[in-house]
Structure 1
């Protein structure tokens, strides 16, 4: 028998290929974002994530579980534009306008698919995927609630009229935000999105 360092078998031989779970999830997020939930197959995920099916199921579970994790990752990465706008702006109006402008830039960036993953991923589809649609609907509603809280803060701090209907405003500007996402996916330019935002800000309640 040969001895010495050259005679030792590589420790990698026979072991399953290792992968970076975080990078694999990022790849899953991007393909769901680009194609939507239903149009993305397990095979699409296998190819994008660089992992075989047994390892994929072992590490992440089923397709819906992968998607839910991908949405949570999207919230952490892409949701910063909204979070920072709502927390750092001095006034409620400034927070809303900054939020819309920041997201318009993100929606038209060349660094990822256009539009918002949460708005576009599963608006319609098979009844079997109702759980996914409900999950996304709750996510969007949570965003509307966060905006309402910021508007209520504006009322408390005196930069938004006490007569303002914060429920109405939160619903309206959430709808504008979601509309910007659809426009961006359809190919609208940043200039067009900014024009829409400018028009939307005209309805801001006047000071008493």
Structure 2
């Protein structure tokens, strides 16, 4: 017996469009009507291919982490602790205020703007943030080139706090050049004049 009708849309392109929409407007700021219009599909096709809105967001979040947000995991492979921190903070500027991306961070927007009905989505975004900070802490524990005044747990929290602040400022319209200056000042404060 033959399967259903073949899909008349490209699921990867549709997922990329959903990613951009969620990134631009946040989870709660994006309606199903917005999604189907941007993705070029109807609701039954959305549900059949991606599940409900919450399940779609989980797929989008994974795509974000493997795509635009992959700089964070890549930064952990830098040869020195100083370079790890520099790449993360400069990467936050490029991700959140780059010429080809929506302003702000998908995870930060989701954590900030999800109400009680979106607990699972918020929980998933918080879990991503915590996992990233824990991975950074483990990497910083291996570094021997960082100022001794910083212990890895606190430095990892500081880096994430600065990155989140950059994302909030980008969402508020701060320019890439302004945020690069902020990033450079933060790096000097964290790491000394060697940056």
Give the superposition deviation at 1:169: 0.5
Quick one: which of 169, 172, 184 aligns to 1:186?
A: 172
Can you list the C-alpha shifts for 1:59-102, whole angstroms capped at 9, x where unaligned?
11110000010010000101222222221x22101110122112
| 1:176 paired residue number | 162
Distance 1:23 1:205 in 2: 41
- Write the distance in 1 (CA, Å) between the matches of 2:70 and 2:116: 32
The answer for the alignment partner of 2:141 in structure 1 is 152
Preserved contact between residue 97 and residue 175 of structure 2 (Cα < 8 Å): yes
Q: Root-mean-square deviation (CA), in Å?
A: 1.8
Distance 1:52 1:144, change over 3 A: same
Structure 1 residues 163 and 179 mapped into 2: Cα distance closer, same or farther (>3 Å)? closer
Residues 94-132 of structure 1 deviation map (CA, whole Å, 9 limit, x = unaligned): 110122112212221221211211111341333111111
Aligned length: 188
Which residue matches 1:107? 96
Match of 1:71, SS state, is helix
Cα deviations across residues 176-204 of structure 1 (Å, max 9, x unaligned)?
Answer: 00110111111112222122222222343
1:49 corresponding residue in structure 2: 39
1:18-45 alpha-carbon deviations (Å, 9 max, x no partner): 1111111111111011111111111111
Computing the radius of gyration over CA atoms, which structure comes out larger, 1 or 2?
Answer: 1
Q: CA deviation at 1:162?
A: 6.0
Q: Give the conservation status (yes or no) of the 8 Å contact 2:98–2:176.
A: no
Question: Given the two structures, how large is their TM-score scaled by the length of structure 2?
Answer: 0.89
Query: Contact 1:164 / 1:205 at 8 angstroms: preserved in 2?
Result: no
1:120 aligned to 2:106? no
Higher mean C-alpha displacement, 179-188 vs 160-169: 160-169
Residue in 1 that maps onto 2:84: 95
Query: Judging changes above 3 Å, is the alpha-carbon distance between structure 1 residues 22 and 136 closer, same or farther for their aligned structure 2 residues?
Result: same
Structure 1 unaligned regions, length at least 5: 1-14
Q: Is the 8 A contact 1:114 1:181 kept in 2?
A: yes
What TM-score, normalized by structure 1, do the two folds share? 0.83
